[in-house]
Structure 1
Amino acid sequence: MTSPVSIFNIALGWLGESAITSFGDSSDSAQLGKNNYNDIRDTVLEEVSWTFAVKRIEPARIATKPLYGFSAAFQIPPEVLRVLTVSDASTSGGSADRYDTGQGGESKIPWNREGDKILTNTAERIYMRAIVRITDPNKYSPSFIQALAARIAADICIPLTQDEKVQTNMEALYQRKLAAAGTSDGRQGRSERTRSNSLTRVR
């Protein structure tokens, strides 16, 4: 059964480090996993429209209107990591014009994301497609597990090995894993660009 620790151990193996039994171990590796696994997981989830993490949502409209510039605001649920598309619920599925969101997708209505809210002028009700936080590793695709392990290896490499060459190799491995995901799990049905390849700062 896949677990956060088993994914983390894949990364440790690529770095030539010993496996851990839990994030509660006393080793430096386990402490790095405890402090960084969740953040790195969410970062990799945001990178690609992983099919297992895409969810269709009708967010609740907020009673108070935005101070200026927009006529309506909708609450983004806390599990949403990235909004892909937004559409008017009253015309969803129609031939409405599509607008570039600047967030890796398109929408049927103009909209902005500000903090945990979607702002728009054109809808009483909206639908959204979004990448949501998935914490159960048994729902992950094989390509996501490989990409996540590679990203972990790149991010924890310097604290564990102090070897910049190995880190460079792990960064390259991560990019290859993302590219492979783009032809399998990550972009089934349409082409979407992956997001920033900047690495997470480990603590």
Structure 2
Amino acid sequence: MSTENQQAPEKLFESMNSESKRLLQGLMRAEDTADIMKNLTDVWTQIVMQPWTNPQGWLEMVTKYQQDHFNLWTDFMSGTMNFEPQKDRRFDSDEWSNLPIFDFIKQSYLLTADVLNKSTDAIPVEGKEKDKLKFYTQYFIDAMSPSNFVTLNPEVLKEAMDTKGQSLVDGLQNLMADLEKGRITMTDESAFVLGENIGVSEGSVVFRNHLFELIQYKPT
């Protein structure tokens, strides 16, 4: 093996280690982390209290969940995977269906997401409190998606193999850039130049509610 080939993995792991440290430091500085964790804890507490507050409904829900998971496991072990798939655009890639282990992971996640949402729906609260519970339940469900984890996402693994790991380093760098900005990058921000393809006009808020702000701009 050449010296160049030996150094390539070392440089890759060095880059990943450096970006991982920056990521952890960024997460520790995140101002909203404590509030999010408190709300998630409140939601989970209300869900786990359901065996006492609604024992019959809880029993039926858990029984169906266990039966569905048993059927999924049976299909996986038999190599048939006849389990009726649930649709989710995060798993549209063929890799999620063509490889049995990832198909099982996907379907197991979707079954669990479904029972968590139903558990939240069954909590006897209304109005803004129910909206808050549903929001943070979905927040947790989305965060736990196997598509978010390198070792559980066949698309990410394939890309990592094709790029010899460089895609993982690039992904960490993009994540760190978003953390430093405090928002998710949705487009190539370098493509916009003030005065050339983007303008700034003076304006003011003329209407505001809990959903949106209406801004009136002065003509130029």
TM-score by length of 2: 0.31
Bigger RCO of structures 1 and 2 (CA < 8 A, at least 6 apart): 1
Whose strand fraction is larger, Structure 1's or Structure 2's?
A: 1
TM-score by length of 1: 0.32
Whose helix fraction is larger, Structure 1's or Structure 2's?
A: 2
Which is higher, the Rg of structure 1 or of structure 2? Answer: 2
